[in-house]
Amino acid sequence: MTPDLMEEGARRLNRGAARPATGQTESGGRTAGYGRPALAQGEVDLTHGRILYLEDVSVSFDGFKAINKLNLDIAPGELRCVIGPNGAGKTTMMDIITGKTRPDEGTVFFGSTIDLLRHREAEIAQLGIGRKFQKPTVFEQLTVFENLELALKTHKGVKHAMFFSLDSAQADRLAEVLHTIHLADSVTRMAGNLSHGQKQWLEIGMLLMQEPKLLLLDEPVAGMTDEETVRTAELFLSLKGKHSLMVVEHDMSFIRTISEIVTVLCDGSVLAQGTLDEVQADERVIEVYLGR
Ligand SMILES: Nc1ncnc2c1ncn2[C@@H]1O[C@H](COP(=O)(O)OP(=O)(O)OP(=O)(O)O)[C@@H](O)[C@H]1O
C-alpha cells in the first residue's frame, strides 16, 4: 500500500462528500464504487491490508527530532510489540497516532482512507483508536461494573450519559468484557480495592467497552506481579485477531510471550524489525539497546 493510493482514496471520498445534490456524478450519473466494498458506519477501510500506516513522520521539540522520518504499518488483527531505549520516541509516536501531538511532516492513516492528521484527539478515540497510558486511571470510588458502564456512557458524550441505560446488547458486551479481563468475580468490588494488575485490566476493559479497532498500550505490565504479567499476556493473546494492538514494553520476557513482529525504535525511527530472536541478534540493536 502506497501513500499515493491512500491519498487517492481519501480524495475520492472527499469528492464523493462534496458532490452536488443534483445527482450528477463524474461518471455520468452513475454512482461509482471505486472498487471498494461499501462500509457500514464506523467501519475502517482495510482494502490495502493495513489498519495503521505511518510514513516519513517527523516531529521536533525545540529543534530536537523526537520522531525522525518514522515509517511503520500494522495489519488488521496484529499484535505488534514496540521496544526501544529510553527516549527512543515510543510515547511520542503514540501521541502522534492519537492526535495528542501534531507531527511537523509525514502521513498517518487509519485504514486506507482516514487521514488521522485531519482529526482531533477526541475524534480519533471515537474513530476506534483506544489508548492505555502506563498508570491505571480507573474511578476508584466506583465498582468494577460502574467503571465499565461509565466507559460506554462517556464514549457517546455527556448528553448521552445523562439518559443512559444499558440495552441488552450492551449488557451482553459488559458481561463478555468482564470475563475477558478476568474480573467476572469482582463485579461489585470497588475499583480502589483492586490490585494494581486488576486496575490495569479494568482500564483495558473500559477501552474494550468502546469496541476499539486499534488499541495502543504503553508499558501495560509495569509494576505487575509475575502472575498478573502472565495473565495479561493471555489477555492480549485473546484480543489479537479481534482487535489490532500496539504494545510498548520494556519487559522482554513478556514481549517473548506475546510477540510475533517486534519493532525496535531508536532516535525516532525504526532501527530493526522482525521476530524477537531476529532483532535481539541484530548488531545495531545490541549496540543501542540490548547491550546497554
Ligand atoms: N513535549 C516534549 N517537549 C520536549 N521534548 C520532548 C517532549 N516529548 C518528548 N520529548 C523528548 O523526545 C524524546 C522521545 O521521548 P519519548 O517519551 O517519546 O521516548 P520513549 O521512547 O517513550 O521513552 P521511555 O521508554 O523512557 O518512555 C525524549 O528525548 C524526550 O525528552
Alpha helices in the chain (DSSP H): 3-18, 90-97, 121-127, 144-156, 158-162, 168-180, 196-209, 226-239, 252-258, 276-281, 283-285
Confidence at residue 233, expressed as pLDDT on a 0 to 100 scale:
97
CB 46 within 8 A of CB 111: yes
CA distance 194 to 199: 6
The answer for 163, left when phi > 0, alpha when psi is -120 to 50, beta otherwise, is alpha
CB 128 within 8 A of CB 42: yes
To test the pocket of ligand 1, the residue of 59, 91, 289 to mutate (highest count of ligand atoms within 8 Å of its CB) is 91
Q: Which of 279, 212, 246, 236 is nearest to 53 (CA)?
A: 246
Output the CA 92–ligand 1 centroid distance in Å: 6
Confidence at residue 160, expressed as pLDDT on a 0 to 100 scale:
52
Confidence at residue 170, expressed as pLDDT on a 0 to 100 scale:
84
ipTM above 0.85, yes or no: yes
Confidence at residue 222, expressed as pLDDT on a 0 to 100 scale:
92
Which residues form the pocket of ligand 1, taking CB atoms under 6 Å from any ligand atom?
61, 66, 84, 86-92
The domain 78-86+121-290 having CATH identifier 3.40.50.300: the answer here is yes
Q: Which cell goes with 156? A: 457517546
Output the CA 282–ligand 1 centroid distance in Å: 24
| CB proximity list for 21: less than 8 A, separation 6 or greater | none
| CB proximity list for 257: less than 8 A, separation 6 or greater | 230, 233
Task: Give the domain ranges of the chain.
Answer: 78-86+121-290
Q: Which cell goes with 275? A: 521476530
Confidence at residue 1, expressed as pLDDT on a 0 to 100 scale:
36
Q: Which of 35, 50, 29 is nearest to 114 (CA)?
A: 50
Output the CA 139–ligand 1 centroid distance in Å: 28
CB 81 within 8 A of CB 103: no
Q: Which cell goes with 59? A: 516531529
Q: What is the pLDDT along the chain (292 residues), one digit of tens a residue?
A: 333 333 443 443 344 333 333 333 333 333 344 445 556 667 888 988 899 999 999 999 999 999 999 999 999 999 999 999 999 999 999 999 999 999 999 999 999 999 999 999 999 999 999 999 888 789 999 999 999 998 887 655 555 555 567 778 888 899 999 999 999 999 999 999 999 999 999 999 999 999 999 999 999 999 999 999 999 999 999 999 999 999 999 999 999 999 999 999 999 999 999 999 999 999 999 998 655 5
